């Protein structure tokens, strides 16, 4: 396992559409292990492979409370097959957009299909925080960020703030 660097807005890779995983092998398992280590260290509750610069359709997630026993979940080639018309509002944040939190409205329930780490096809209903988190992470795999779901004005302010910070960091390097 290795701690990986989380890429930050305005890195253009965050807008990449990720490629499906063709085969679950040792490389896939090593990627997943690195993703968990990185996510727990951050700390976060979900991480898409693209957030560490790997354009593969892989998500890791753990929605357990910090004091509770870990409940690591892996979603390979996930797809949302159904979304409810009913919506929920959750305050979302993102490890690739640190210190920014905004209310995002999404379908309150979804059905997902994915492969587990053993390559078995799974289907599951998600609601509450799980539904919000899986939608947020699947968005990452499609080059969509949570700020794309907020007002244009707020989004532009956030993008401008991160672009300035990146420019400053580049000048100091």
Candidate list 124, 137, 156, 172, residue with the active-site label: 137
Assigned domain for 80 exists: yes
Q: Which tokens is 20 given?
A: 């499906």
Assigned domain for 86 exists: yes
Assigned domain for 149 exists: yes
Q: What is the DSSP string of 48-78?
A: EGGGGT--BSEEEE--S-TTSPP--EEEEEE
CATH assignment at residue 84: 3.90.45.10
Domains identified in the chain, total number: 1
Average pLDDT, the chain: 96
Residues with Cβ within 8 Å of residue 84, at least 6 apart in sequence:
107, 108, 109, 110
Give the span between the Cα atoms of 149 and 39, in whole angstroms: 23
Assigned domain for 2 exists: no
Assigned domain for 4 exists: no
Q: Which pTM was predicted?
A: 0.95
Residue 23 falls in the annotated catalytic set: no
Nearest one of 92, 97, 172, 163 to 131, comparing CA atoms: 92
Give the span between the Cα atoms of 76 and 20, in whole angstroms: 8
| Tens-digit pLDDT profile for residues 18-64 | 999 999 999 999 999 999 999 999 999 999 999 999 999 999 999 99
Assigned domain for 6 exists: no
Assigned domain for 35 exists: yes
Q: How many CB atoms lie within 10 A of CB 123?
A: 9
pLDDT of residue 150: 97
Q: Which domain holds residue 45?
A: 12-172
Assigned domain for 109 exists: yes
Longest dimension (CA), the chain: 48
| Tens-digit pLDDT profile for residues 48-106 | 999 999 999 999 999 998 788 999 999 999 999 999 999 999 999 999 999 999 999 99
């Amino acid at each position: 396992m290795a701690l990986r660097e989380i890429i930050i807005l305005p890195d253009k890779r965050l807008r990449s559409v990720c490629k499906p995983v063709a085969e679950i092998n040792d490389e896939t398992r090593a990627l997943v292990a690195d993703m968990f280590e990185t996510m727990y260290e951050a700390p976060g509750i979900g991480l898409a492979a693209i957030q560490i610069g790997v354009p593969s359709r892989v998500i890791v997630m753990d929605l357990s409370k910090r004091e509770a026993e870990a409940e690591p979940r892996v979603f390979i080639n996930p797809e949302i097959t159904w979304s409810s018309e009913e919506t929920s509002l959750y305050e979302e944040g993102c490890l690739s957009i640190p210190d920014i939190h905004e209310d995002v409205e999404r379908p309150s329930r979804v059905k997902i299909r994915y492969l587990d780490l053993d390559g078995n096809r799974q289907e599951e209903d998600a609601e509450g925080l799980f539904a919000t988190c899986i939608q947020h992470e699947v968005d990452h795999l499609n080059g969509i960020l949570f700020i794309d779901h907020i007002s244009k004005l707020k989004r532009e302010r956030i993008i401008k703030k991160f672009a300035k910070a990146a420019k400053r960091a580049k000048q100091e390097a």
